[in-house]
Amino acid sequence: MSNHILQVENLVVQYGSIRAVKGVSMNVEQGSIVAILGANGAGKSSFLRAISGMSPVAEGKIIFEGKDITALAPEKIVARGISQSPEGRRIFPDLTVNENLMIGAFAVKDRAQISKNLQEAYSLFPQLAVRKEQMAGTLSGGEQQMLAIARARMSNPKLLILDEPSLGLAPLIVRDIFQIIQNINKQGTTVLIVEQNALQTLKIAHYAYVLEVGSTSMSGAAQDLLHDESLINSYLGG
């Protein structure tokens, strides 16, 4: 029995005649943090959207916990245990922090579980606890990002997908966000993270894949990639 929670086999995502993802394969081991790195337009977000059921898969297979989820609707995928915090946060600005979190729990039927998840969210993100009655649109960028991650966790995912969590945030806030991602992982949640901030991400990831124009150009243990000169030069600006 493999220890892979997620297996992606030769995935192709196509918009009209444009192939955004060209036959990418990837394994995510249970309990790990796996990073997908690459420049803008490398196909990273399209790849994530396919896993969440938001982009149709033209070819290939997505296997989660040994079951084929390739053709499942997004809400069924959430119910199976995959939750995504989207790029650009996409919180509901006119709802309170608490209401945003409750929306994240839509797939959870058990009230006691929802209230447990809410307690955990507030203990993981104390800044949000202080602002739970505040409108989400009035939060700082970093707090909105925390809210997006906390909301994605409200469905108790086995696999948490994060799309560009550090985008547009100040370095100190980025450090906090990455620390929180590590804490979530230590609590047993597997994390798949797409990031342009390669250096920070490789420091917390166990394994990484580099995408270039829709294909995998490189993969390996994150620690090895951290010391790979060609990667450093192309992505980390030397």
Q: What are the φ and ψ backbone dihedral angles of 50, each rounded to 5 degrees?
A: -65, -40
Predicted pLDDT at 130: 96
Class of CATH domain 1-70+160-165+192-238: alpha beta
Predicted pLDDT at 236: 56
Q: Is the pTM of this model over 0.75?
A: yes
Is residue 31 within 8 Å of 4, Cβ to Cβ?
A: no
Predicted pLDDT at 182: 96
Predicted pLDDT at 148: 94
Low-confidence ranges of the chain (pLDDT < 50): 1, 238
Q: 120-130 burial, b if ≥16 CB within 10 A, otherwise e?
A: bbbebbeebee
The amino acid occupying position 139 is L
Domain boundary assignment for the chain: 1-70+160-165+192-238
Predicted pLDDT at 1: 44
d(CA 80, CA 180): 24
